A = this chain, B = another copy of it.
Amino acid sequence: MKVVITGGGGFIGRKLAAKLLRQGTLAGADGAQRQIDELVLFDMTPPPADETTDGRIRVVTGDLTDRDLITGLIDADTASVFHLAAVVSAGAEADFELGYQVNLDGTRLVLEACRAQPQAPRLVFASSIAVYGGREIPDVVEDATPLMPQTSYGAQKAIGELLVNDYSRKGYIDGRALRLPTIVVRPGKPNKAASGFASSIIREPLNGIDFECPVRPESEMAVMSPRTVVDAFMHMHDLDAEGLGDSRALLLPGLRVSQAESVAAIGRVAGNRKVGRIDFKIDPDIQAIVDNWPKGSHSARAEALGFKGDASMDDIVQAHIEDELSGPL
């Protein structure tokens, strides 16, 4: 079978690709596991060359808004699509048109390319807890919490979910959508995302770099580790859609953690590493944004369907050290 990952050059896409290749199979249309013969990684910039040596990988670079390219990307052999590519939150907020072009029009191109195939592909769409928001948002969002996006990114993800549901209802795809909590620890350089500090507060000190956290230590948010979210994508793909009921969109269980707990976890897990210093210097703008985010996410549906969250911040920090900092301690 042929599998396509849009956003396959990104941080989660690359980890998903690696895990798919290790596992070697995915559920086919009949639910039985089938061998992955070809894994297409589509993105604007390719993954590092040393990650694409496996003979099953094909790298395609280009723009998600390129109709001809997307139409050619998904063909009659394509059994599964993981649609992760997106302009992220801050980007879609800064460039309104680009956000809609990529996150809405690009998603429609992917769905239309699937609809054109004789056998409806399975499609897993990366949505976000940014679909929730507003003045009445509860501390812990749940399946039934009304969608009330407060960013264009969140609106575009909510629209994507509606499209995935409608295309699935019509039988054009066998689609599913996952609402992702904030993923920590992101590797690499700090970015401009408002949520960036949640990764930086772990990543930078473990690299021996001092870090100034822009929100108060008691600020809580719903997080999930890269390992756990990759497992969730694969589990969601293989589920029998019947179990999802009327809505193909599912909220993932985020671990509720404060920044103080992240700091404490580093202390417990870092061992004899020399860690950078963490100070708290509040940025009122970022604090205000974070105060409007859910502090946790709980989904009885996801639990019943066998999805697991991370057990503790210690586990998340430990996994980051193992996966990103050159092997186990």
A245 in complex: contacting residue of B135, B158, B163, CB < 8 Å: B135
Residue contacts A-B, CB under 8 angstroms, 10 given = A100-B108, A136-B245, A144-B146, A147-B147, A148-B246, A148-B247, A150-B169, A150-B246, A152-B170, A155-B162
Closest residue on chain B to residue A160 by CB atoms? B159
Q: Is A166 positioned at the interface, with any CB of B under 8 Å from its CB?
A: yes
A162 in complex: contacting residue of B135, B158, B169, CB < 8 Å: B158
Complex A-B, nearest 5 residue pairs according to Cβ-Cβ distance, in ascending order:
A134-B246, A155-B166, A155-B162, A159-B159, A148-B246
In the bound complex, CA of A146 to CA of B57 (Å): 41
A302 to chain B, nearest CB (A): 16
In the bound complex, CA of A135 to CA of B245 (Å): 8
Closest residue on chain B to residue A155 by CB atoms? B166
- Which B residues lie within 8 Å of A149 (CB)? 162, 165-166
- The interface size bin for chain A is 20 to 34
In the bound complex, CA of A288 to CA of B288 (Å): 48
- Which B residues lie within 8 Å of A152 (CB)? 166, 170
| Given A136-B246, A148-B246, 6 new contacts (CB under 8 A) | A96-B170, A133-B246, A135-B246, A148-B247, A149-B162, A150-B169
- Which B residues lie within 8 Å of A170 (CB)? 96, 152
- Which B residues lie within 8 Å of A169 (CB)? 150
A114 to chain B, nearest CB (A): 13
In the bound complex, CA of A202 to CA of B170 (Å): 34
- Which B residues lie within 8 Å of A96 (CB)? 170
Q: Assess whether A247 is in contact with B159, with CB atoms less than 8 Å apart.
A: no
In the bound complex, CA of A192 to CA of B305 (Å): 40
